[in-house]
A and B are shown apart, each in its own frame.
Chain A
């Protein structure tokens, strides 16, 4: 089910990312202040936006899980948060590289955007240990969903607070007042945003396909071998595929 159209999606992502990279390097003009260093912006900012949207999406999926009690929504939420965490790590590393080049420091503690993003990452870093700490699959799924919703609500609130704060050290990217990009930069930025969003969706579907196949295999194994042949499920932070049974 999740593997359907995955090849097309992966191909579109590859084309979009390649096109973005070519345009970033050869078409987008250099920034007047940062020069060539500003090219990091085209990967760092879209990654940050997609990461935060991914966390919110994980929260929305968790709401669906609590509403329907369908374990598939828990799995979707888990995968969304998992991929967003990977993207978040990329945001922190690319941001640090940019900070080192632009400001001469790997990290600046008095910069609200950086610190708030780190706070969000630290918050979500507790998601997997939380899941792992709860053995009962249903209780684990419920608790993880509550966490995903609360943390998902925190993300836009945190974003708004940082925007409203007065210490504008970090450059604004999408703003009506300041920080507007010139034409070519804007085109490349939006293309980069679409490319990174496509990558997120592709990886989400890729992992969901893998989880789905695993769940189907376990179910088939039980059908063919009988329940007595089934080894006891290992404790895991991931939603139990055995618990999902015939997940579709």
Chain B
């Protein structure tokens, strides 16, 4: 069997590597979404902590 010429094999190889990178990027993007949610919850907690400590004590909370 003769090997596939570069112009024929190239798109297959490129597609395989692009799929790999795209899947990893998608995964990282989903994780980034989760990280944003954690950040938002952390902000809510900071507000909650400031409210609990009272209006005058909140300055050093940040």
Find chain B residues with CB under 8 A from A199 CB: 24
Contact with B along A89-116 (1 / 0, CB 8 A): 1100110011011100000000000000
Task: Kindly state whether residue B19 has any CB partner on chain A within 8 Å.
Answer: yes
Find chain A residues with CB under 8 A from B3 CB: 30-37
Task: Kindly state whether residue B6 has any CB partner on chain A within 8 Å.
Answer: yes
- Among B20-46, those with CB < 8 Å from A are 20, 23-24, 27, 31, 34-35, 38, 41-42, 44-45
Cross-interface CB contact of B35 among A21, A86, A210, A225, cutoff 8 Å: A210
With contact pairs A199-B24, A225-B48 given, residues A34 and B31 touching in the complex (Cβ less than 8 Å): no
Task: Kindly state whether residue A243 has any CB partner on chain B within 8 Å.
Answer: no
Cross-interface CB contact of A213 among B9, B27, B38, B52, cutoff 8 Å: B38
Find chain A residues with CB under 8 A from B48 CB: 221, 224-225
**Do A86 and B20 touch (CB < 8 A)?**
no
**A97 vs B13: C-alpha distance in the bound complex, in angstroms?**
8
Min distance, Cβ A185 to any Cβ of chain B, angstroms: 14
- Chain A's interface size range is 35 or more
Q: Tell me the interface secondary structure of chain A in the complex.
A: helix
Task: Kindly state whether residue B62 has any CB partner on chain A within 8 Å.
Answer: no
**Do A86 and B12 touch (CB < 8 A)?**
no
Residues in A lying within 8 Å of B, measured CB to CB: 21, 30-37, 39-40, 43-44, 47, 86, 89-90, 93-94, 97-98, 100-102, 199, 203, 206-207, 210, 213-214, 217, 220-221, 224-225
Residues in B lying within 8 Å of A, measured CB to CB: 1, 3-6, 8-10, 12-13, 15-17, 19-20, 23-24, 27, 31, 34-35, 38, 41-42, 44-45, 48-49, 52
